[in-house]
Chains A and B, each alone.
Chain A
């Protein structure tokens, strides 16, 4: 009744190729965007914005990037954390080197720098695939984080080795630095995610996206029907790294404020990978759902014993958290290996005939 598409005829090619062909989807998205942009900044308090929503948005960006790589092009990568680090460190260098540059421009340039780095580390994908490639991308992870640790130029010879995002404003409003309010940072992050998610959604519908999917489904066959494997694989590494780089820049400037290489270690790579898999490979919606799940569950787990009134030693609690987190992941993989996106699809099919299923 609520989600019925009967009677929604497509009378032109434009309508047929629309990104959201169902009216209800368009309405839902519009309402969601209005709520996210207008209502949330007024309703949510500092804690929610800083601890939940901003990291959620940052990881959405990273998850979209990784989903392009794994879900759409089938290239397994464990180097997401390192690419985010490249984004963060190049943002830092650009912000301190060119203080007058608009911060949004800085983010985009940092994305391009990361794309270039991703291109280099994508070269092995031309020869190897699957788990061999995954392990090869770990080379990027370890090499880059070592480099950011060892070469003082990257952190401006700062004795502590941390990078701190300097205060910058856009149109007279403080966006980064300690004085920027959580609301502003949230809105900037939201805008970036909205714009780039839209771009990603369009890329995967385009010729480039179709070539990625062809390579994913069977690269030899794709090569035979005329896709160039080198171009295709390298573009996907570049585009995916671009997204990860912007995510890293957001992590530094909008969320953490200051960071060391530990903020981008291999656990971050795994976290983003979890988001993509639990959310659903090859689905934009999945990236968002996965990011929400993986950022929310630890917060929930940390707060549950407190809410229920159980008192435990902090380290026991931490171990239990890790344990429950691990079992939840296994559980969700068993219940629905194709992720939340698939669950949503099933729900949609149910909704279509609700409330009269027969």
Chain B
């Protein structure tokens, strides 16, 4: 009885009693969710255009952040460092396409998946050999103060990150829907062969999509890095982005965003209201279980394409 009370009654009573705190938890969850979405977006872009489940997205986030910080430590001004990092990510996209994807064209998805795990190891070692493995601070000059609205505590930095995320998503949406390249990308995502037959160069598209994913990784890396320092654990947020992906569907950009928000909020609320019951630290797996429970009802995720199977 006591257990039932602790699980089903007390947390809700808490929420009702201190609504300001609850709102605060939800908002902080939403803001974390934006960050998850940023990482998940990179996965979705690549999966949509090339069918590759790119496990190295997380390490790309780390690599971009490491490059940026490393350049800034060398005394390069931030704008130039940003542009240089972008160039590095584009170069990476070229290298990946040339060295890894092209020889593996037409292989099973799992082989490509394994290859991206190999790439993960490579980038991890490469980035840390190049820039060292100690924790670095990334200072963008964004104020990190908190202020209060109606008793709800908000953090300026988080709001800024959310705004950046929103701008990025908007930019991507425009890019995908209004530009010729974006249309070509969508065509490739729909059907490789049909896209090729109307003259869309697949290899170029792959380079573009990996570059765009690199940019998204860079933005995510800057945001996460400014929040919690640039360090190895940054690459582990990829593991947090995976449940976002299955929740939203591997092929849906809006899915990645809404999935990220749901996971962010769910995780925070569960940790604060139900976490203490089982000893805390449930953040690590809660997202997965949430996504799993969800999948049992919608196997293709929230916005994924309906799975149609034929014999």
Contacts and interface: CB of A to CB of B under 8 A. Distances in A.
Interface of A: 70, 76, 124, 127-128, 130-132, 135-136, 138-139, 142-143, 146, 149-151, 218, 220-221, 224, 266, 270, 273-274, 277, 281, 315-316, 319-330, 333-334, 337
Contact of A142 (B53, B109, B288): B288
A270 to B, nearest CB: 6
A277 B114 contact: yes
Contact of B117 (A131, A270, A316): A270
Contacts of A321: 125
Interface string B178-207: 000000000000000000000000000000
Contacts of A323: 121-122, 124-126, 129
Interface centre among A127, A149, A325, A326 (most CB of B within 10 A): A326
Nearest to A142: B285
Given A130-B109, A132-B295, A150-B278, 12 more contacts: A135-B242, A136-B246, A139-B243, A274-B114, A281-B110, A319-B129, A323-B122, A325-B121, A329-B115, A330-B100, A333-B118, A334-B104
Contact of B100 (A136, A138, A316, A334): A334
Question: Which interface residue of B123, B239, B292, B295 has the most chain A CB atoms within 10 A?
Answer: B292
Contacts of B160: none
Contacts, number: 135
B254 interface: no
A246 to B, nearest CB: 25
Interface string B119-133: 111111110110001
Given A128-B295, A337-B107, A337-B108, A327 B285 contact: no
A124 to B, nearest CB: 6
How big is chain B's contact interface, by range? 35 or more
Interface in B210-240: 239
Given A124-B292, A124-B295, A320-B125, A132 B117 contact: no
B119 A127 contact: no
Contacts of A70: 110
Contact of B124 (A218, A221, A274, A326): A326
Contacts of B301: 132
Interface string B262-291: 000000000000000011111011001101
Contacts of A329: 114-115, 117-118, 121
B111 interface: yes
B118 A132 contact: no
Contacts of A320: 125, 129
B296 interface: yes
Interface string B82-126: 000000000000000001100110011111011101111111111
A220 B278 CA distance: 41
B149 interface: no
A150 B129 contact: no
Contact of A333 (B115, B242, B299, B300): B115
Contact of B119 (A138, A274, A326, A328): A326
A273 B114 contact: yes
Contacts of B285: 139, 142-143, 146
A271 to B, nearest CB: 10
Contact of B282 (A124, A146, A221, A316): A146
A70 B250 CA distance: 21
